[in-house]
Amino acid sequence: MAWEDYEDHVQAVIRGIERTHDVTCVVALDDHMDETETREWLRAVGVLASVAAESHEVQVLRGDVGVVAIYPDLSPPGPSFTGAPQNRDGWHRLGRTLAKKAAQIAGPLPAWVRVDCLDGLFQFTEWTTMELADRIDAIAALIRSKITWPTNAHGVVLSSGPGVIFGGNDAAAQAVTGRSESGVFLRRLTHPYLVRETFIVPLSSEATEHTDWWAAAYGDEPAWLDIDLAAVGLPKTADLFL
């Protein structure tokens, strides 16, 4: 939503510049900037639009954020606004979260850290396009090398949180398990039309047995609701949906 708000704001200002100077701006964004930098960049677009209107010559503004070509007469063919690619460094926020948790768990008792990554790591990063084993190895390498862990830290569990999956109500078909020397990946249908991805990364060889415990627990997640329903004398989920 923040990404969309930024681009909507830029488009609105650009359209205002076009109306003021009777020009056409063709914008191709490569990235986003902070508020101050964006304001200065748009101010420069306005200045060049004035120059283009007076000189009747095309003006081009290039910068780290992208390119703006300003046409004083004929409107060029093609799209007039191309937004920046929507990807992100998912590690930035996750790294800060894990660093805080590493400080919080320091003590005499063995500890695991579990985080729901709800900021786009599982959806909007290049990491999600990797082969499964490479994804496990890549995230494990960051977790182990970028964070200073206390000696009692045994491992990290990353969850995508529940995500909607349309037409995917077959728990067996959605079940995926992947392993590498760095950890374990699980994909499970948690409830009808909701799926979760989970990465389990041990921080030491001693924690491998605990990794298997986590994998067994999350591997059975599709049955959690039925177990809870049975405990209070209710029928299974499938029967309730009937």
What are 217-232's pLDDT values in tens digits? 888 887 888 889 999 9
Same domain flag for 74 and 101:
no
Same domain flag for 118 and 77:
no
Same domain flag for 237 and 166:
yes
Number of domains in the chain: 2
Instruction: Tell me the pLDDT band of 21, cut-offs 50, 70 and 90.
Output: very high
The last residue of one of the domains, among 62, 82, 102, is 82
Structure confidence by residue, pLDDT tens digits, 123-140 = 667 777 788 899 899 999
Question: What is d(CA 81, CA 200) in angstroms, rounded to the nearest whole number?
Answer: 42
Percent of the chain residues past pLDDT 70, beyond the cut: 93
Same domain flag for 107 and 180:
yes
Same domain flag for 35 and 114:
no
In three-state secondary structure terms, 215 is helix
Q: Compute the average pLDDT of residues 30-34.
A: 85
Domain range for residue 104? 91-241
In this prediction, residue 143 carries a pLDDT of: 93
Q: Compute the average pLDDT of residues 88-108.
A: 84
Listed in order, strand segments (DSSP E) in the chain are 24-29, 59-63, 66-71, 81-82, 111-116, 153-159, 163-164, 176-180, 183-191, 194-202
Same domain flag for 172 and 124:
yes
Same domain flag for 209 and 234:
yes
Instruction: Tell me the pLDDT band of 89, cut-offs 50, 70 and 90.
Output: low
Same domain flag for 153 and 65:
no
Instruction: Check whether 170 has a pLDDT greater than 80.
Output: no
183 near 200, Cβ under 8 Å?
Answer: yes
Highest mean pLDDT among 60-64, 123-127, 177-181, 188-192: 177-181
What are the strands of the beta sheet with 24-29, ordered from one edge?
59-63, 66-71, 24-29, 81-82
Q: Compute the average pLDDT of residues 17-29.
A: 93
Give the residue from 174, 181, 191, 177 showing the smallest Cα distance to 219: 177
In this prediction, residue 103 carries a pLDDT of: 94
Same domain flag for 119 and 51:
no
Range scoring the smallest mean pLDDT among 49-53, 76-80, 185-189: 76-80
In this prediction, residue 88 carries a pLDDT of: 55
Neighbours of 158 (CB within 10 A): 22
Instruction: Check whether 17 has a pLDDT greater than 90.
Output: yes
Q: Compute the average pLDDT of residues 169-175.
A: 75
Instruction: Check whether 176 has a pLDDT greater than 80.
Output: yes
Q: Compute the average pLDDT of residues 133-151.
A: 92
pTM over 0.85: no
The last residue of one of the domains, among 53, 82, 111, is 82
Same domain flag for 67 and 182:
no
In this prediction, residue 3 carries a pLDDT of: 82
Question: What is d(CA 121, CA 119) in angstroms, rounded to the nearest whole number?
Answer: 6
219: exposed, middle or buried (Cβ count in 10 Å: 0-12, 13-18, 19+): middle
Same domain flag for 159 and 218:
yes
Cβ-based neighbours of 147, under 8 Å, separated by 6 or more: 95, 98, 99, 102
Instruction: Check whether 87 has a pLDDT greater than 70.
Output: no
Question: What is d(CA 115, CA 101) in angstroms, rounded to the nearest whole number?
Answer: 9
Exposure string (b/e) for 98-112, b if CB count within 10 Å is 16 or more?
beebbeebeeeeebb
The last residue of one of the domains, among 32, 54, 82, is 82
Same domain flag for 26 and 140:
no
